[in-house]
């Protein structure tokens, strides 16, 4: 009897540990980086801790930025896009547009264009870039 | 009388052996200090840094900033992008106006002479006339940030340069053919090492007459390939030869998390 109870206890402890372990793995994964799914209908690229979501619209372009899964204030940062469309290359400065959003109006990015988003961090020196291909 | 090695350590008779061993060890250390260092680019806290050292010895690059003769960035069309180095704590970080596709650097490591006793001195043959060898040391580094849309050309100031032949594979363990250029032309007998950071004592493989050699990509992460070539001296009174050490670094991305 004593032996049976001990086994049950062991088993429940084992499963409890498994649940805890799987929970902590999921927790780590969720916290380590931003999500890979677009939240604004755009294209997401993860670069280290940073998540960039580029939303190319008909008459403007948006860039949404998260750092380690948390929204960062765009007003504290600077961003620009380098767009390579065939042999044409252009640069577009993005303006903070509230929250973690940057925006540039009057910009249309063609399909197939390659876009590099360059984010300058709060220290105004460190930069992180993400590459996109517009589909 | 037969002495055990333990006894020998404390015997007067063994002092010469001990000193000889210490001298050999000192020579080895001095040899490494003078010759076996390179420069390469690697990511530090999300930023690209210029590093100096060998293997896991990532040494003080900031104090060597004055020895950096050039730093350059290029876009995917090989047009220069304004690029400089900035000191950030103990690191030299690359600061470019736009995201570069490739970054390069050159560091002049001075003239070193080896005394008959095996000690390396940072002096020329004119100051160490009995030197067994005197050499001028240049270090070069090319970092492929990517993505590449055109083959890597011979780049400015890269007297010795490693160029990938064809696309760089996505996975470690796959073969990678590289060509080593000296003064823009393929060079044979350059000594190529596949992993400067994790296998710094590995046996180099020599390039063929067309400058090529095929190695395996060592890491699913940062790869730093090295080539070493001894060229003629441009200051024969001070140095017998010029040692050129070039690195090519790139990253194979890890699988999605």
Is the predicted pLDDT of residue A26 greater than 70, yes or no?
no
Residue among B71, B83, B150, B99 at smallest CA distance from A79: B99
Asked, for residue B257, whether it belongs to a domain, the answer is no
pLDDT at B31: 44
A120 touches chain B (CB under 8 A): no
d(CA A131, CA B121): 47
Helix (H, G, I), strand (E, B) or coil at B171: coil
Domain tally, chain B: 1
Least confident of B4-13, B18-27, B115-124, B242-251: B4-13
Residue among B192, B188, B181 at smallest CA distance from B228: B192
**Average pLDDT value for chain A:** 82
Asked, for residue B15, whether it belongs to a domain, the answer is no
pLDDT at B152: 97
Task: Choose which CATH entry (1.10.10.10, 3.40.50.720, 2.60.40.1940, 3.40.50.300) describes domain A35-133.
Answer: 2.60.40.1940
Tell me the domain boundaries of chain A: 1-32, 35-133
pLDDT at A84: 95
Using the beta-carbon criterion (under 8 Å), do A29 and B47 form an inter-chain contact? Answer: no
pLDDT confidence band for B36 (50 / 70 / 90): confident
Pairing of strands B80-81, B160-164: unpaired
| Mean pLDDT, residues B203-218 taken together | 98
A50 vs B contacts (CB less than 8 Å): 46
Using the beta-carbon criterion (under 8 Å), do A127 and B96 form an inter-chain contact? Answer: yes
| Mean pLDDT, residues B215-242 taken together | 97
Q: Which DSSP string corresponds to B36-60?
A: S-EEEEEEETTEEEEEEEETTEE--
- pTM of the predicted model over 0.90: no
Asked, for residue B16, whether it belongs to a domain, the answer is no
**Average pLDDT value for chain B:** 89
pLDDT at B59: 95
Asked, for residue B6, whether it belongs to a domain, the answer is no
Asked, for residue B36, whether it belongs to a domain, the answer is yes
Residue among B184, B183, B176, B203 at smallest CA distance from B192: B203
Asked, for residue B17, whether it belongs to a domain, the answer is no
In a mutational test of the B interface, the residue from A127, A130, A132 whose CB has the highest number of chain B CBs within 10 Å is A127
B253 touches chain A (CB under 8 A): no
The range of the structural domain enclosing residue B76 comes to: 24-251
Using the beta-carbon criterion (under 8 Å), do A127 and B88 form an inter-chain contact? Answer: no
Is the predicted pLDDT of residue B108 greater than 50, yes or no?
yes
pLDDT at B1: 30
pLDDT digits (tens, 9 = 90+) for B51-100: 999 999 999 999 999 999 999 999 999 999 999 999 999 999 999 999 99
Asked, for residue B12, whether it belongs to a domain, the answer is no
Least confident of A34-43, A88-97, B218-227, B244-253: A34-43
In chain B, the residue whose alpha carbon lies closest to the alpha carbon of A118 is B99
pLDDT at A28: 34
Structural Rg of chain A based on CA atoms: 22
pLDDT at A9: 57
pLDDT digits (tens, 9 = 90+) for B122-168: 999 999 999 999 999 999 999 999 999 999 999 999 999 999 999 99
B256 vs A contacts (CB less than 8 Å): 36
């Amino acid at each position: 009897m004593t032996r049976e109870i001990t086994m049950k206890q062991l088993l429940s402890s084992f499963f409890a540990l498994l649940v805890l372990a799987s929970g902590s793995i999921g927790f780590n994964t969720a916290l380590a980086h931003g999500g890979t799914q677009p939240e604004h209908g755009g294209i997401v690229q993860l670069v280290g801790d940073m998540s960039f979501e580029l939303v190319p619209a008909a008459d403007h372009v948006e860039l949404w930025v998260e750092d380690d899964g948390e929204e960062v204030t765009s007003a504290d940062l600077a961003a620009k896009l380098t767009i390579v469309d065939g042999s044409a290359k252009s640069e577009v400065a993005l303006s903070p547009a509230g929250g973690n959003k940057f925006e540039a109006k009057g910009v249309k990015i063609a399909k197939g264009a390659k876009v590099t988003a360059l984010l300058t961090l709060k220290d105004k020196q460190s930069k992180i870039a993400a590459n996109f291909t517009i589909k | 009388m037969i002495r055990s090695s333990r006894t020998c350590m404390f015997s007067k008779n063994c002092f010469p052996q001990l000193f000889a061993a210490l001298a050999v060890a000192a020579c080895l250390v001095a040899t490494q200090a003078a010759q076996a260092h390179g420069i390469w680019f690697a990511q530090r806290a999300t930023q690209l840094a210029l590093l100096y050292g060998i293997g896991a010895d990532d040494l003080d690059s900031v104090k060597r900033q004055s020895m950096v003769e050039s730093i350059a960035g290029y876009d995917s069309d090989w047009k220069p992008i304004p690029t400089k180095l900035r000191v950030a704590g103990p690191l030299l970080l690359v600061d470019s106006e736009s995201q570069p596709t490739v970054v390069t650097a050159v560091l002049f490591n001075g003239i070193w002479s080896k005394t008959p006793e095996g000690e390396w001195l940072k002096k020329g043959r004119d100051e160490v006339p009995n030197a067994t060898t005197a050499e001028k040391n240049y270090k070069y580094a090319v970092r492929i940030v990517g993505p590449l849309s055109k083959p890597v050309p011979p780049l400015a100031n890269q007297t010795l340069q490693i160029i990938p032949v064809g696309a760089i594979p996505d996975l470690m363990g796959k073969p990678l053919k590289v060509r080593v250029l000296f003064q823009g032309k393929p060079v044979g007998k350059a000594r190529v090492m596949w992993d400067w950071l994790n296998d710094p004592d590995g046996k180099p493989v020599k390039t063929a007459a067309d400058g090529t050699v095929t190695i395996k990509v060592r890491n699913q992460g940062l790869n730093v390939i090295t080539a070493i070539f001894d060229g003629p001296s441009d200051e024969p009174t001070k140095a017998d030869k010029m040692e050129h050490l070039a690195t090519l670094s790139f990253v194979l991305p890890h699988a999605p998390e």
